[in-house]
Amino acid sequence: MLLRNLIIEYTDRLKYISSTARLDVEIMISEVLKYDDKVQLIMDYNREIKKSEIESFEALFEKRLNNMPIAYITNKKEFMGLTFYVDENVLIPRPDTEVIAEEFISKIKKLLLNRDCEIIALDMCVGSGAILLSCARILKDELDKNTFERIKFIGVDISPKALNITKMNMQNFQLDNIMLVESNLFGSNVLDCFKSNIDIIVSNPPYIENSVIKTLEPDVRDYEPIIALSGGDSGMDFYNSIIESSVNYLKNGGLLIFEAGHNQAEKIESKMKSCNFHDIYTKKDIQNFDRLVCGKFKV
């Protein structure tokens, strides 16, 4: 079969379950043929696909027909220009989260300019490491070695399986100065030594209301880890808990940055206000939702 015909035929079969059927097919066949980019694929449209290649492709295609997200099929997801390894133990990084990663990077740069001592930056619910590791990798490229080494990065997650993936991504991105802690939020006493010591906390916690989970697309509902999605009945459980604990871990003047669910920014803001956070602002994502909430802890 010619590559062009394979793309047409399988796109047709996939279009009932995927709104990105053609792209999905192109990604999966590129995976089998080991193409790095779309140009190679287009140049090879008239290539004859061998039987063994079709078989390998069909194994992937079958997974997609069962609604498995492309990122879990290929074990890859682009985020902030980096390719993260992902599997069903971590949430798939979303483009909307880049707003949060960018803010985290820019705040750390400001902190480095204003002070010459160590800066402590913590990602609560680090998952694949999307926010923390993209920040570390980008700053490692931008800053001189001494300045970069002034940042102490900490990633926290309750799931040891997720932390194995954070570790794998750390290695892929040649990052070694990151401390990973297995902890239920701030529960572990390994974090005690950071009390009143952290400059900046970032978090994209699980925030979906329990009642909404069953209405999600099957790609998400049936494959992404429920512990990375569910924010309790109100969706606010993790925000509330992280805000309440952060006041014990942040320095006076320390920052807390959240990714917010599309309708949660106001609730997060009022909870932060009630816990001594000031100068609170929000930022919008590409769909115009208030996706980021940031505030300064000051007593």
- For residue 104, give the H/E element and its range: helix 98-114
Out of 86, 105, 121, 131, point to the residue binding ligand GLN (CB under 6 A). Answer: 131
Out of 25, 80, 108, 126, point to the residue binding ligand GLN (CB under 6 A). Answer: 126
In the complex, least distance from residue 194 CB atom to ligand GLN, rounded to whole angstroms? 19
Tokens 């492309």 correspond to what residue? 70
Residue (18 or 89) nearer to ligand GLN, CB: 89
Out of 21, 29, 71, 130, point to the residue binding ligand GLN (CB under 6 A). Answer: 130
Out of 93, 235, 261, 295, point to the residue binding ligand GLN (CB under 6 A). Answer: 93
Size of the site for ligand GLN (CB under 6 A): 13
Residue (14 or 80) nearer to ligand GLN, CB: 80
User: Taking a C-beta distance cutoff of 8 angstroms, is the pair 64, 28 a contact?
Assistant: yes
Residue (91 or 163) nearer to ligand GLN, CB: 91
In the complex, least distance from residue 125 CB atom to ligand GLN, rounded to whole angstroms? 5
Q: How many C-beta atoms surround the C-beta of residue 112 within 10 A? A: 18
Closest-approach residue to ligand GLN (CB): 127
Out of 18, 89, 97, 246, point to the residue binding ligand GLN (CB under 6 A). Answer: 97
In the complex, least distance from residue 127 CB atom to ligand GLN, rounded to whole angstroms? 3
Pairing of strands 277-284, 151-157: unpaired
Dihedral over Cα of 18, 21, 27, 32: its sign: positive
For position 204 contacting ligand GLN by CB under 6 A, the verdict is yes
Burial state string for 185-217 with b = 16 or more CB within 10 A and e = fewer than 16: bbeeeebeebeeebbbbbbbbbbbbeeeeeeee
User: Taking a C-beta distance cutoff of 8 angstroms, is the pair 254, 198 a contact?
Assistant: yes
Residue (56 or 83) nearer to ligand GLN, CB: 83
For position 30 contacting ligand GLN by CB under 6 A, the verdict is no
For position 80 contacting ligand GLN by CB under 6 A, the verdict is no
Identity of residue 186: F
Residue (65 or 175) nearer to ligand GLN, CB: 175
Q: What is the footprint of ligand GLN within residues 206-265 (CB under 6 A)?
A: 206, 228
Alpha carbon distance, N-terminus to C-terminus of the chain: 69
d(Cα 130, Cα 76) in Å, to the nearest integer?
12
d(Cα 52, Cα 49) in Å, to the nearest integer?
8
Residues that bind ligand GLN (CB under 6 A): 91, 93, 97, 125-128, 130-131, 204-206, 228
